[in-house]
Amino acid sequence: MHPPPTRRTFARAWCTRERVIAGLRRFYKEHSVAPTSTEDWHQLAGRHGCRGGGPGTRRPYPSLYGVLRHFDTFRQAWAAAGIDVGRRQESWSELEDWYLREGMGLIPRTELARDLHRTPDAIHRRLYDLGLHSYQRWGWTLHHVERVAQIPRHRLQTYIEQGELPYLRGSKCVYIDPGDLLVVQEIDWQHPPAELEEAVLQAWRERLVKLLAVRTGASEDPSERNHLSAQTLGGARD
């Protein structure tokens, strides 16, 4: 003979995935909140519902155990219920910060937000917190070069089109490495603007450091070597 079903096994059989989702939707409809931590759910569901974890009408919402039996996290559970809880209160990971650093200026902000499941406002705020500016991340924009060096943009475009001035095309603008501006003959390199002179010197210092790192084996990142080769050899970075 099989042992009679206990209260625990009966509750487990009753607490199906479909009933959990229905209970989550009921909770959100009645209280307009979607707690994402186990502590918040235990507190809110216990306060708004009835004590006890059994089946039937005693508890209008699924227990903590019932939710986590079918989902790894409450965020997954809410997503299965069709409720977007967002990620406003979720901390940023190192991988997300890396993706922002590498993608900003090259990938539209709306796409960054979509890829990271964040809002565009959250992306904007995080870039600000990291001290990153999309118009400065990958060099100087053509507008910046035009303003500082007093060179008309159409002349810079000519250098680009002729393949003499390397560039990187971003999502909103074209970036120029100040170290590559030495090919622009219209700039008085005997008496360059102070801001331009400092930017060019800094660019070549960085290249020298990378070159020495590669030659001494300090850099084992293939992408770093490729980036250095593109800078050293020149050519369009489009």
Domain residue ranges in the chain: 7-80, 94-129, 140-233
Structure pTM?
0.56
HSE, side-chain direction, 13 A CA sphere, residue 26: 13
Q: Are 19 and 53 in contact (CB under 8 A)?
A: no
pLDDT greater than 80 at residue 220: no
| 3-class DSSP assignment, residue 59 | coil
Cα(173)–Cα(130) distance, integer angstroms: 21
Per-residue pLDDT band at 10 (split at 50, 70, 90) = very low
pLDDT tens digits along 107-165: 999 999 989 888 888 899 899 999 999 898 999 999 999 999 999 999 999 999 999 99
What does the pLDDT read at residue 188? 92
Q: Are 81 and 28 in contact (CB under 8 A)?
A: yes
- List beta partners, residue 168: 175
Per-residue pLDDT band at 86 (split at 50, 70, 90) = low
Q: Which residue has the higher pLDDT, 50 or 64?
A: 64
CB pairs under 8 A, 24+ apart, for 30-34?
34/78, 34/83, 34/85
